[in-house]
Protein backbone atom coordinates (compact mmCIF):
# COMPACT_ATOMS: atom_id res chain seq x y z
CA UNK A 1 0.00 0.00 0.00
CA UNK A 2 0.97 3.60 -0.54
CA UNK A 3 -0.19 6.50 1.65
CA UNK A 4 0.05 9.94 0.10
CA UNK A 5 0.29 12.50 2.88
CA UNK A 6 1.26 16.07 3.75
CA UNK A 7 3.04 16.58 7.10
CA UNK A 8 0.64 17.52 9.88
CA UNK A 9 -2.42 17.52 7.62
CA UNK A 10 -5.47 15.31 8.13
CA UNK A 11 -3.49 12.51 6.46
CA UNK A 12 -1.74 12.06 9.81
CA UNK A 13 -4.88 10.17 10.88
CA UNK A 14 -4.47 7.24 8.43
CA UNK A 15 -0.70 7.43 8.95
CA UNK A 16 -1.33 6.73 12.64
CA UNK A 17 -3.83 4.00 11.76
CA UNK A 18 -1.29 2.22 9.53
CA UNK A 19 1.28 2.17 12.34
CA UNK A 20 -1.35 1.04 14.85
CA UNK A 21 -2.41 -1.76 12.49
CA UNK A 22 1.17 -2.87 11.91
CA UNK A 23 0.66 -3.02 8.14
CA UNK A 24 3.37 -2.67 5.52
CA UNK A 25 3.09 0.56 3.56
CA UNK A 26 5.05 3.24 1.74
CA UNK A 27 4.48 6.84 2.82
CA UNK A 28 4.82 9.36 -0.02
CA UNK A 29 4.88 13.10 0.73
CA UNK A 30 2.39 15.07 -1.37
CA UNK A 31 2.83 18.67 -0.16
CA UNK A 32 -0.44 20.61 -0.23
CA UNK A 33 1.33 23.78 -1.36
CA UNK A 34 3.30 22.45 -4.35
CA UNK A 35 1.40 19.25 -5.23
CA UNK A 36 4.71 17.84 -6.44
CA UNK A 37 5.82 14.38 -5.36
CA UNK A 38 9.49 13.67 -4.52
CA UNK A 39 10.04 12.22 -8.00
CA UNK A 40 8.57 15.32 -9.66
CA UNK A 41 5.19 13.76 -10.44
CA UNK A 42 2.22 16.15 -10.40
CA UNK A 43 0.04 14.88 -7.55
CA UNK A 44 -3.08 15.91 -9.48
CA UNK A 45 -2.36 12.97 -11.79
CA UNK A 46 -2.76 10.70 -8.75
CA UNK A 47 -5.66 12.52 -7.12
CA UNK A 48 -7.48 15.03 -9.38
CA UNK A 49 -8.90 16.67 -6.22
CA UNK A 50 -5.35 17.53 -5.12
CA UNK A 51 -5.79 16.89 -1.42
CA UNK A 52 -4.57 14.25 0.99
CA UNK A 53 -4.87 11.55 2.19
CA UNK A 54 -5.00 9.01 -0.59
CA UNK A 55 -4.42 5.31 -0.06
CA UNK A 56 -3.37 3.24 -3.05
CA UNK A 57 -3.71 -0.53 -2.72
CA UNK A 58 -1.22 -2.97 -4.18
CA UNK A 59 -3.63 -3.69 -7.05
CA UNK A 60 -3.87 0.00 -7.94
CA UNK A 61 -7.30 0.73 -6.46
CA UNK A 62 -7.53 3.97 -4.52
CA UNK A 63 -9.40 5.44 -1.57
CA UNK A 64 -9.27 9.18 -1.04
CA UNK A 65 -11.36 10.12 2.01
CA UNK A 66 -9.85 9.84 5.50
CA UNK A 67 -12.84 8.29 7.34
CA UNK A 68 -13.14 5.59 4.64
CA UNK A 69 -9.39 5.00 4.55
CA UNK A 70 -9.01 4.51 8.31
CA UNK A 71 -11.89 2.01 8.41
CA UNK A 72 -10.34 0.07 5.54
CA UNK A 73 -7.02 0.00 7.41
CA UNK A 74 -8.73 -1.14 10.62
CA UNK A 75 -10.47 -3.97 8.78
CA UNK A 76 -7.16 -5.26 7.43
CA UNK A 77 -5.98 -5.93 10.99
CA UNK A 78 -9.10 -7.00 12.94
CA UNK A 79 -7.05 -8.39 15.84
CA UNK A 80 -5.88 -4.85 16.63
CA UNK A 81 -9.48 -3.77 17.47
CA UNK A 82 -9.09 -0.39 15.75
CA UNK A 83 -12.75 -0.51 14.71
CA UNK A 84 -15.72 -2.52 15.99
CA UNK A 85 -17.04 -5.32 13.78
CA UNK A 86 -18.90 -4.35 10.63
CA UNK A 87 -22.67 -4.45 11.13
CA UNK A 88 -22.49 -3.94 14.88
CA UNK A 89 -24.10 -0.95 16.59
CA UNK A 90 -20.66 0.02 17.87
CA UNK A 91 -19.40 0.26 14.27
CA UNK A 92 -22.11 2.79 13.53
CA UNK A 93 -21.09 4.72 16.64
CA UNK A 94 -17.54 4.79 15.27
CA UNK A 95 -18.87 6.09 11.95
CA UNK A 96 -20.88 8.68 13.85
CA UNK A 97 -17.69 9.91 15.51
CA UNK A 98 -15.73 9.92 12.24
CA UNK A 99 -18.50 11.92 10.57
CA UNK A 100 -18.76 14.39 13.45
CA UNK A 101 -15.00 14.94 13.57
CA UNK A 102 -14.88 15.38 9.80
CA UNK A 103 -17.81 17.74 9.37
CA UNK A 104 -17.99 19.60 12.68
CA UNK A 105 -14.32 19.92 13.67
CA UNK A 106 -12.02 19.19 10.72
CA UNK A 107 -13.89 21.36 8.19
CA UNK A 108 -14.50 24.12 10.74
CA UNK A 109 -10.75 24.62 11.10
CA UNK A 110 -10.48 25.45 7.39
CA UNK A 111 -11.32 29.19 7.50
CA UNK A 112 -8.82 29.67 10.35
CA UNK A 113 -5.96 28.62 8.04
CA UNK A 114 -7.16 30.85 5.20
CA UNK A 115 -5.44 34.30 5.19
CA UNK A 116 -8.39 35.70 3.24
CA UNK A 117 -10.87 34.96 6.04
CA UNK A 118 -12.06 38.20 7.65
CA UNK A 119 -11.30 38.76 11.34
CA UNK A 120 -14.96 38.70 12.39
CA UNK A 121 -15.51 35.46 10.48
CA UNK A 122 -12.50 33.91 12.21
CA UNK A 123 -13.85 34.99 15.58
CA UNK A 124 -17.22 33.38 14.85
CA UNK A 125 -15.47 30.22 13.66
CA UNK A 126 -13.40 30.07 16.86
CA UNK A 127 -16.60 30.28 18.94
CA UNK A 128 -18.26 27.52 16.93
CA UNK A 129 -15.19 25.30 17.18
CA UNK A 130 -14.90 25.88 20.93
CA UNK A 131 -18.56 24.94 21.39
CA UNK A 132 -18.07 21.68 19.47
CA UNK A 133 -14.91 20.85 21.44
CA UNK A 134 -16.69 21.63 24.72
CA UNK A 135 -19.26 18.98 23.77
CA UNK A 136 -16.49 16.48 22.93
CA UNK A 137 -14.84 17.28 26.27
CA UNK A 138 -18.08 16.34 28.01
CA UNK A 139 -18.34 13.12 26.02
CA UNK A 140 -14.82 12.15 27.13
CA UNK A 141 -15.68 12.48 30.83
CA UNK A 142 -14.86 9.22 32.60
CA UNK A 143 -13.46 7.65 29.41
CA UNK A 144 -9.95 7.11 28.09
CA UNK A 145 -11.01 7.21 24.44
CA UNK A 146 -14.05 8.21 22.41
CA UNK A 147 -15.44 4.66 22.41
CA UNK A 148 -14.45 3.85 26.00
CA UNK A 149 -11.31 2.01 27.06
CA UNK A 150 -10.30 0.90 23.56
CA UNK A 151 -8.35 3.05 21.10
CA UNK A 152 -10.01 3.26 17.67
CA UNK A 153 -9.29 5.03 14.39
CA UNK A 154 -11.66 7.82 15.50
CA UNK A 155 -9.22 8.69 18.29
CA UNK A 156 -6.38 9.09 15.82
CA UNK A 157 -8.56 11.42 13.75
CA UNK A 158 -9.60 13.56 16.73
CA UNK A 159 -5.99 13.78 17.89
CA UNK A 160 -4.92 14.89 14.40
CA UNK A 161 -7.43 17.72 13.99
CA UNK A 162 -7.14 19.03 17.56
CA UNK A 163 -3.40 19.21 16.96
CA UNK A 164 -4.14 22.18 14.72
CA UNK A 165 -5.33 24.34 17.64
CA UNK A 166 -1.76 25.39 18.36
CA UNK A 167 -1.36 26.81 14.84
CA UNK A 168 -4.49 28.96 14.85
CA UNK A 169 -4.40 30.24 18.44
CA UNK A 170 -7.32 28.15 19.68
CA UNK A 171 -7.11 27.77 23.46
CA UNK A 172 -7.77 24.23 24.67
CA UNK A 173 -6.80 24.85 28.29
CA UNK A 174 -10.42 24.76 29.48
CA UNK A 175 -11.00 21.25 28.14
CA UNK A 176 -9.37 19.03 30.76
CA UNK A 177 -10.82 15.76 29.43
CA UNK A 178 -9.73 16.57 25.89
CA UNK A 179 -6.24 17.50 27.10
CA UNK A 180 -5.98 14.22 29.04
CA UNK A 181 -7.12 12.37 25.92
CA UNK A 182 -4.55 14.17 23.78
CA UNK A 183 -1.76 13.33 26.22
CA UNK A 184 -2.80 9.66 26.30
CA UNK A 185 -3.07 9.34 22.50
CA UNK A 186 0.07 11.38 21.91
CA UNK A 187 2.10 8.96 24.01
CA UNK A 188 1.08 5.87 22.02
CA UNK A 189 4.10 4.38 20.21
CA UNK A 190 2.29 4.27 16.87
CA UNK A 191 1.31 7.93 17.17
CA UNK A 192 4.86 8.93 18.06
CA UNK A 193 6.15 6.88 15.10
CA UNK A 194 3.75 8.55 12.65
CA UNK A 195 4.58 12.03 13.94
CA UNK A 196 8.31 11.31 13.73
CA UNK A 197 7.87 10.06 10.18
CA UNK A 198 6.20 13.36 9.27
CA UNK A 199 8.84 15.45 11.04
CA UNK A 200 6.35 16.77 13.61
CA UNK A 201 8.38 15.58 16.61
CA UNK A 202 12.03 14.68 17.03
Residue extents of the structural domains in the chain: 2-81+190-197, 89-188
89-188 CATH, one of 1.20.120.1200, 3.40.50.800, 3.40.50.170, 1.20.1050.10: 1.20.1050.10
Model confidence pLDDT, tens digit, residues 5-59: 999 999 999 999 999 999 999 999 999 889 999 999 999 999 999 999 999 999 9
Handedness of CA 162, 166, 168, 169 (dihedral sign): positive
DSSP 8-class letter at 152 = -
Rounded CA-CA distance 62/55 in Å is 6
pTM over 0.95: yes
2-81+190-197 CATH, one of 1.10.10.10, 3.30.565.40, 2.60.40.1730, 3.40.30.10: 3.40.30.10
Amino acid sequence: MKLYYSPGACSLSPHIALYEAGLQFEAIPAPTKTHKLPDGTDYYTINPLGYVPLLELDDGRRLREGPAIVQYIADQAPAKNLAPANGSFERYKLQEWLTFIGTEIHKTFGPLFNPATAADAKSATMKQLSARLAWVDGELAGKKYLMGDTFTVADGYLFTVTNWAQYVGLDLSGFKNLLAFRALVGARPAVVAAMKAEGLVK
